[in-house]
């Protein structure tokens, strides 16, 4: 869980996590100015890490994934602790990967009517649909959205793509998807209800515009790289993740980290 000022929503998020299918929980506090770090220490969270300075949304996730791999996770689910996405989808997302159906699962707010029912601002919804249309064209894919922050990955995927080469800002998520597709992995989507309320995290209009430009740039880079018209580090750099612990022994069940 990449956390930033999540004090007001962390308890609600934790209460809905199905602990019977989760082996470890990792929370990385990105130098919050509220009581997130102390509160997390009172909960059944396996590992709580606090950045001494704010490293950004992408920088936070890098620490999350490094830590999950070091814990020996076979399935890693990224869940925001702001309660915008329901933790109750964790078993379904983990099952798709554990069953070897798909190595990546995205919880989509756009499949069905979850986004608008959950009061996603109209400008965000329209931007989501426009950017997704452009991305599907440039990347020759067919996702319902590229912008959900609720994702599940197999260990193999995280050990293959070089997520450390990505931005430390919000476009990190989109760069990960482009890396996943470039590496030849497939992505499944499941319908996800969502909630927009004052305590849920959200970026302002100016940062949304910067994010949108970054998304287009990422999709164009993918298009050019696939056609060998240009070369970009996020697709070429050797993965330099911290040395994770070895996988679970033969016969043991998959280990999941949220």
Tell me if 187 sits within 8 A of 143, measured CB to CB.
yes
pLDDT score at 116: 79
| Mean pLDDT, range 58-80, rounded to an integer | 98
Can you give the residue ranges of every domain in the chain?
A: 72-237
Q: Quick count: other Cβ atoms within 10 Å of Cβ 25?
A: 23
Question: Does the structure show a pLDDT above 70 at 192?
Answer: yes
| Mean pLDDT, range 145-173, rounded to an integer | 97
pLDDT digits (tens, 9 = 90+) for 118-127: 888 888 899 9
123, 88, 56, 34: CA torsion to nearest 10: 100
Helices (H) and strands (E) in the chain, counts: 10, 8
pLDDT score at 238: 61
Angle at 111 between CA 211 and CA 200, to 5 degrees: 50
pLDDT digits (tens, 9 = 90+) for 212-253: 999 999 999 999 999 999 999 999 866 555 544 434 333 345
Q: Does residue 151 sit in helix, strand or coil? A: strand
Question: Does the structure show a pLDDT above 60 at 178?
Answer: yes
pLDDT digits (tens, 9 = 90+) for 35-53: 999 999 999 999 999 999 9
Q: What's the whole-model pTM score?
A: 0.90
- Could you say which architecture CATH assigns to the domain 72-237? Alpha-Beta Complex (3.90)
Whole-number average pLDDT of the chain: 91
């Amino acid at each position: 869980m990449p956390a930033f000022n999540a004090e007001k929503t962390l308890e609600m998020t934790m209460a809905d996590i199905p602990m019977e299918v989760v082996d470890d929980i990792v929370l990385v506090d990105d130098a919050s100015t509220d009581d997130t770090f102390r509160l997390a220490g009172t909960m059944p969270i396996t590992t709580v890490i606090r950045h001494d300075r704010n490293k950004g949304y992408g920088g936070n996730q890098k620490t999350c994934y490094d830590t999950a791999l070091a814990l020996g996770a076979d399935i890693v689910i990224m869940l925001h602790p702001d309660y915008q996405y329901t933790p109750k989808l964790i078993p379904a997302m983990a099952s798709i990967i554990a069953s070897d159906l798909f190595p990546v699962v995205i919880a989509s707010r756009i499949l069905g009517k979850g986004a608008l029912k959950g009061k996603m601002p109209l400008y965000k919804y329209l931007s989501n649909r426009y950017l997704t249309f452009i991305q599907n064209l440039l990347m020759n894919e067919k996702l319902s959205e590229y912008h959900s922050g609720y994702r599940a990955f197999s260990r193999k995927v995280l050990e293959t793509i070089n997520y450390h080469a990505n931005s430390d800002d919000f476009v990190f998520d989109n760069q990960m998807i482009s890396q996943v597709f470039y590496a030849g992995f497939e992505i499944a989507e499941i319908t996800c209800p969502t909630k927009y309320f004052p305590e849920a995290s959200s970026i302002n209009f100016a940062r949304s515009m910067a994010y949108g430009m970054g998304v287009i740039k990422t999709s164009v880079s993918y298009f050019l790289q696939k056609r060998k018209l240009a070369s970009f580090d996020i697709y070429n750099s050797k993965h330099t993740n911290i040395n994770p612990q070895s996988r679970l022994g033969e016969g043991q069940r998959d280990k999941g980290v949220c």
